[in-house]
A and B are shown apart, each in its own frame.
Chain A
Amino acid sequence: MTIGPIELEIIRHRLEAINADAGETLVRVSGSQIASEASDFNTAIMTADGTVISCSKFILVQSTSLNLIVRDILDRYGENPGIGRGDQFLTNDPYLGTLHQPDVTLVAPIFHGDRLIAWAGSTVHEPDVGGPVSGGFNYAARSIFDEAIPIPPVKIVEAGSVRRDIERDYLARTRTPELNALDLLGQIAANRASERQVLELCAAYGTDGLVHAMDRLLASTEAAFRRRLIELPDGIWRENSFIQHEQRSGADYLPNQVYAVRLAMAKAGDKLSFDFTASDDQAPGAVNSTYPTLANFTMAAVLVHICQGLPWMPGAIWRTIDIHTRKASIVDAEWPAGVAMSTGTSAQAIRNCVSGCLARLLDGSAAHAHMAMASSQSSGAGGMSISGHRRDGTPFTTLFLDELSGGGGATVRADGSDTSGTATSPGATPSNLETNEAYYPVLYLTRRELADSGGPGMRRGGVGAMHAYRPHQTDRSIALLSMAQGLQHPATMGAAGGEPGLPSGFAIMSCDVPVAVSSGWAELADATDFRLPDAATRLYPDQILVTSSQGGGGFGDPLERDPAAVAMDVLDGLVSVGNALRDFGVVLRLDGDQVEIDRDASEAARKARLKVRLGGRDPRTIEGPVSGRRLSSHFRAVAVSGGEQVVCAVCGHGICDAGEDIYASLAVHEAVAGERSAITDRYPGSERFRIRHFYCPGCARQVDVQVALSGDPVLEAIELPFPRNPTETRP
């Protein structure tokens, strides 16, 4: 059958429907809490060579590298054990294609007759897959041999029947065999449902027709993405992001280490390349990312941040992207480095770097600047594996995902979404607290939006959340393995001069601290010592655990935020009166239910703030829009005799000659990592970090904010090729 624009659309729609069915089938059969309540799973359909053509949207990062797993199976198993109809392969090997060991992937080849035409696959986060530590996150791991040992692809279903020997081998490792068995059943059923429906498509359109249609869809999506890239300016953008790791025990004791992920993203014509080679060396254990994890998080950020309006077809996007790494680095670990905690640590830093660079790239295009989005929360402190015993003595282990409540990033048109979770796991949802209390011996004291946590900006980042609970109806302590990152410095960067969101918080307090009625960390800061969570962290029955997730990054200079919007935030309790002034330069009075903005005082406050930014000098008056070639929200290139000059987009101030480092010519203010936080500076290690604010030397507008290690050179976050002809196309 010929495949025209009509058939192609019908097949596209159908593939999406088949994949959605697979996801629902998985949830229905598995019924487990992680899959069904938190949606921590994903499904995908691939072409014969493993190219992902359709993936669901719950946890995007789980599915974009399934091609690596399929490739491995095709390369190694063709002869022995063979790849046949009705087979399914299970793996949780992060060195081959999963994110970390708890993510268990099942892929199934789909044959029409003897011809391999497609693959179906799914991944589910399991509560436990074995190894020395319940839940799988071992802070003290010196290598992967101190974690759950990955299972390379094994043929767990052969010609339609489950291999009992392999199934037993898989379930023998885990502390939660019943739950894993149900998820396994769900994944098998989901793959079978996809297989059956794909074969129906074959019957309707012919095998050649379907294969041809899938190729066409990939080719046209790739072409559309390349057109989008061509519409965007060329250049190099940079972003750094940091993680910490505290390895508390073992021979290789390494206290409170910092690892930097450093990205230089280059866009030229219709190519996008990501160079991570400047990132730090790998850690001994736990927090490293493998190449598949790097690829997954990079791809997921690309899909979310520059594929708006395009199909999410990772296989098509792969073809336009290069990733450069250095083996044995924190983003491309070398066996046998430990990797089980990658998703909450280095992988979040990877995503932050990619989304930061993409925001800078988009902000350089007049036609696409509205798509530029500041960073959303990375892993907050409330994400943890907890284990212990109930009063009746039965043991429990589970994941609490309260951290999925951080703020979203702002864009030029909209504030970030409050308590909306991370951008690359759009479907993930934290459980109801009643669900947690029903199954585990804890009592929550609060789940609240955390005022002042959203990154200030012309548009505000979404606020994060605070959670607190204590042991309940148990006499024993609870072991906590928190994935907390971003305690010592902000981790969710703003865009176009917006501020980063508030760092995470993690603290254990005595149970007489009135946590439930406090308005935030400021009132709790003196109630306890602030210690980084480590392998030995426990919560005793007379204690409260308090955690907070990060706010999202803001967009644009916070002094340009509409005072009325600040007033609304104050009424909603998302910004405090005091911080309306501190963060936005808005003076207002909250009188009962009314907020009154003092316009004159606000204007004076903002003027004074601008003056401080320039070291006491009066800012240049703003002359109205400056014409010239757009480089970003804040910079234009204008022709001058002998070349081009970079000028401020609002005041016209000449910053530097085109081709020079813009950042070398900006006014800079370096602040401590906890400048907006009551607790960040209390964590040991925070003194190593700085927040750098960059201002136009003419009008004092804030044009960028970066987090850096103290003493590091200033990052040239925007490097544009000069001179050149404008290539940007306007619609």
Chain B
Amino acid sequence: MQIVGIDTGGTFTDTVILTGDGRIGVGKALTTHGRLMEGVIASLAVASRSLGKSLREILEVTDILSHGTTVGLNALLTNAGAKVGLLVTSGFEATLPMARSNKVHGLPDEDSINALKWRKPDLLVPRRRIIGVRERIDVDGNIIVPLDEEQARQSIRQLVARGAEAIGIALMWSPVNGSHERRLAELVAEEAPGLHVTLSSELAPRIGEYERTATVAMNAYVAPLVGDYLTSLDEALRDEGFSGLFLIVTMGGGARRASSLHDAPIHLLQSGPVGGIMAARQIGARLGHADVLATDVGGTSFDVGLVVGGALPTASRPRIDRHSLAVPVIDLASIGTGGGSIAYADPELGVLRVGPQSAGSMPGPACYGRGGTQPTVTDAAVVLGHLDHLGGALILDRDAARSALAPLAGKLGLEIEEAAEGILRVANAQMADLVRRASVQRGHDPRNFVLYAYGGAAPQHVGRYAAEIGVKAIVIPRLAPEFSAWGAASSDMRTSYEIELPARPLQDFRDGEIDAFGRLEQRARGEFEGLAEASLAGAVEIRRKIGLKFSRQLHRIDIEVPSSRLGRAEIAAAEAAFRSRYEQIVGRGSAHAKSTIELAAVVVEARMPIVMPDSAPTGMRGALRPSRQRRAWFGGREQETPVFLWAELGVGVVISGPAFIESDQTTAVIYPGQTVTTDVDGNLTMTVPAVHKRSPSPSIGEFA
């Protein structure tokens, strides 16, 4: 079986081809904003050539093509989405514009303390295209006001007259009783056939009308654009001979058939970074690392995700571009610190600050020689000699970098190299702070984790940001620069359907059938239709879960149950599992409360494992001999530093810093005192000197 993974990132579109006989082809092309498909095809062609094949030759024998894309996110960030018309319950038209009064949540830290920068999330649907329909359902699903169909039809016609290109429907309490939403959808089909329709009870049946409505609005907003993209890409691939399964990476983890995302394109909004985390889980499984801190350094951002016990935790209050979402999203922390971040002297405090302003990729850092003049993180690395080329083709201009840094160094009274060192320290401290926050805030101790570093710039920075955190080990995967594409290729097919209900004591469900399971399972299985026959993969695994929480509590924890009917024993087992998970998350001793355990959600997960081809031995060869020497600054002095070519390292070699390990796409910086070893797959494992002794981490059990 041959699998292709393609990831469209902010700067590059990466492709990884895993051939049936275990070879790996890699390709990279510039992302073509506005015409993303061109970059995808170009990247595929490059990867095909790396295996000595044409695009058609590769596609004709490809069984699965799995794609992570920013098409939805771009539509959102460039305000290029559809004109959405929103139907809501009459009296609650302001749910979306009010946005629960949020003027600061999701803003960058420095804006959150500046009242002049406070603002609501961008309003995706103008008030004129939000219309209330007369109907009302209560918490128990009782119909308090029947749906006024005539007024509803008028409202639909009004939305169309006001230019609506897609319709969202989000009524009060629709997760409990979706009949009014479904009837409205029928009316839309009659009054405005052909318009894309999103139902909150199907897309995001979670309790909490604001987040549900925002999710519907965003789904409708990106739907036409994403739909067109998926259709055209599918056609283009088939024109080139592809006849396999076309999958898209979702932000909830796993990949789904592209055809199933036309209705629910919201799931692919943040698929790129999720590809990376899935890759980290995959490699982690191979290397025996169940708990991984997955870190990704790009040009404009630094992302941290977690793998905990082999699973990918979802965010409790997910937001994208400040919009709240009511669908499962893999938990990801992000800050605007990357290679392009601009350094400056804070005029008020006299300290050296880095970011969040970024030089982006145009003009980019000064060292790119494209007209950038402001000092960036990448310029600092170039000044210190840690980096002299990028992506094979781009030779970096050290003099331009020095010129960019000189004024800043002057202001701070530092030598240029000291300022460069300072920029890297500040930038990496920010990254380290985010790694700590991503773990500590979620109740984890980073010392129990292995840190993975990927993305084009992570191998260059990880020796600093990971060193002081004190993780168990640091891994730089062989495919670090194309990691998200590899993650797409290595992903299982996965889908999940859920429904939230007003919380009721779990005991009330004893010996009764929870009928939501049946409906959700049917929908989940529907996504895999026809695949078993095509012998693409194994059988579909179904898991049933119930979302439990303590009364009046926030944390919902999903616990697997054997069937849709719960007897005394099953309920006891679920309660015990819940208490134990709760204590893992919140702290030992915290679940002692005699609070009632309530059932708040029903979840069905379906998964079809995809067996990846075994990779052939890396073919890494040769002895431990530097390919050249480069003068670079470490610890305040410039010294000749060996440069090794990654592809030429043998298995099990040990390299001590200072040293550089280069591939076409990235440079790993090994600092003095650090060593790396290579494994059979070509991954680098870095060890760093023990940091300062820590105070022991207390658990809640000590004082509860």
Contact = CB atoms under 8 A, between A and B. Distances in A.
Given A6-B422, A188-B703, A434 B172 contact: yes
Contact of A438 (B105, B109, B207): B207
Contacts of B694: 196, 200, 203
Given A57-B104, A447-B98, A593-B161, A224 B349 contact: yes
A428 B118 CA distance: 13
Interface stretch (A176-184, A235-243, A575-583, A668-676): A176-184
Interface string A419-436: 111010011111111110
Given A5-B350, A14-B429, A430 B100 contact: yes
B85 to A, nearest CB: 13
B207 A435 contact: yes
B436 A310 contact: no
B433 A13 contact: yes
Nearest to A189: B700
Interface stretch (A322-330, A342-350, A404-412, A707-715): A404-412
Interface in B344-359: 345-346, 348-353
A447 B430 contact: no
B144 A443 contact: yes
A527 interface: no
A189 B587 contact: yes
Contact of B92 (A28, A161, A310, A446): A446
B113 interface: yes
Given A21-B436, A429-B100, A447-B91, A196 B698 contact: yes
A550 B98 CA distance: 14
**Secondary structure of the B side of the interface?**
loop
Interface residues of B, number: 86
Given A27-B554, A33-B554, A429-B101, A21 B441 contact: yes
A160 B702 contact: yes
A449 interface: yes
Nearest to B211: A432
A273 interface: no
Interface in A310-341: 310-312
Contacts of A431: 100
Q: Which of B120, B208, B468, B554 has the most CB of A within 10 A?
A: B554
A29 B100 contact: no
Given A439-B552, A472-B138, A420 B692 contact: no
B590 A178 contact: no
Contacts of B102: 429
Given A28-B586, A196-B697, A20 B437 contact: yes
B554 A36 contact: yes
Contact of B128 (A21, A199, A443, A571): A571
B595 interface: yes
Contacts of B97: 418-419, 449
Interface in A1-49: 5-6, 8-10, 12-14, 16-17, 20-21, 24-25, 27-29, 31-33, 36-37
B113 A12 contact: no
A304 B115 CA distance: 6
Interface in B316-363: 345-346, 348-353
A181 to B, nearest CB: 7
Contacts of B128: 571-572, 593
A173 interface: no
Q: Which of B139, B434, B694 has the most CB of A within 10 A?
A: B139
Interface in A432-468: 432-435, 437-439, 443-449, 465
A305 interface: yes
Nearest to B434: A17
A421 B138 contact: no
Given A6-B352, A408-B118, A448 B700 contact: no
Interface in A130-166: 157, 160-162
Contacts of B590: 29, 185
Interface string B682-694: 0000000000111
Interface in A180-225: 181-182, 185, 188-189, 192-193, 196-197, 199-200, 203-204, 217, 220-221, 224
B553 A32 contact: yes
A593 B440 CA distance: 52
Contact of A447 (B94, B162, B553, B587): B94
A404 B595 CA distance: 30
B95 A157 contact: no
Given A8-B351, A430-B100, A185 B173 contact: no
A311 B353 CA distance: 13
B704 A162 contact: yes
Interface size classification for chain A: 35 or more
Interface string B576-603: 0000000001110010010100000000
Contacts of A20: 437, 441
Contacts of A373: 115-116
Nearest to A205: B692
A419 B127 CA distance: 14
Contacts of B426: 6, 9-10, 13
A417 interface: yes
Nearest to B351: A9
Nearest to B436: A17
A13 B425 CA distance: 12
A78 interface: no
A290 B332 CA distance: 43
B523 interface: no
B672 interface: no
Nearest to B162: A593
Q: Which of B139, B349, B353 has the most CB of A within 10 A?
A: B349
A437 B136 CA distance: 13
Interface in B85-137: 90-95, 97-98, 100-105, 109, 112-116, 118-120, 126-128, 136
A420 B120 contact: yes
Contacts of B702: 160-161
A133 B673 CA distance: 65
B550 interface: yes
19 contacts: A13-B429, A17-B434, A20-B441, A25-B440, A25-B441, A28-B441, A28-B442, A31-B554, A157-B703, A196-B695, A197-B436, A220-B350, A417-B119, A426-B115, A435-B207, A437-B138, A571-B127, A572-B126, A572-B127
Task: Pick the 9 closest A-B CB pairs, nearest first.
Answer: A446-B91, A224-B348, A24-B441, A203-B692, A31-B554, A516-B91, A9-B351, A6-B422, A17-B433
Interface of B: 90-95, 97-98, 100-105, 109, 112-116, 118-120, 126-128, 136, 138-140, 144, 161-162, 172-173, 207-211, 345-346, 348-353, 412, 422, 425-426, 429-430, 433-434, 436-437, 440-443, 468, 502-503, 550, 552-555, 585-587, 590, 593, 595, 692-695, 697-698, 700, 702-704
Given A9-B351, A28-B443, A417-B120, 14 more contacts: A6-B351, A9-B352, A17-B433, A31-B553, A37-B554, A188-B700, A189-B587, A311-B113, A438-B207, A446-B92, A465-B98, A516-B91, A572-B126, A572-B128
Interface of A: 5-6, 8-10, 12-14, 16-17, 20-21, 24-25, 27-29, 31-33, 36-37, 57, 157, 160-162, 178-179, 181-182, 185, 188-189, 192-193, 196-197, 199-200, 203-204, 217, 220-221, 224, 227, 303-305, 307-312, 370-371, 373, 404-405, 408, 411, 414, 417-421, 423, 426-435, 437-439, 443-449, 465, 472-473, 516-517, 571-574, 593
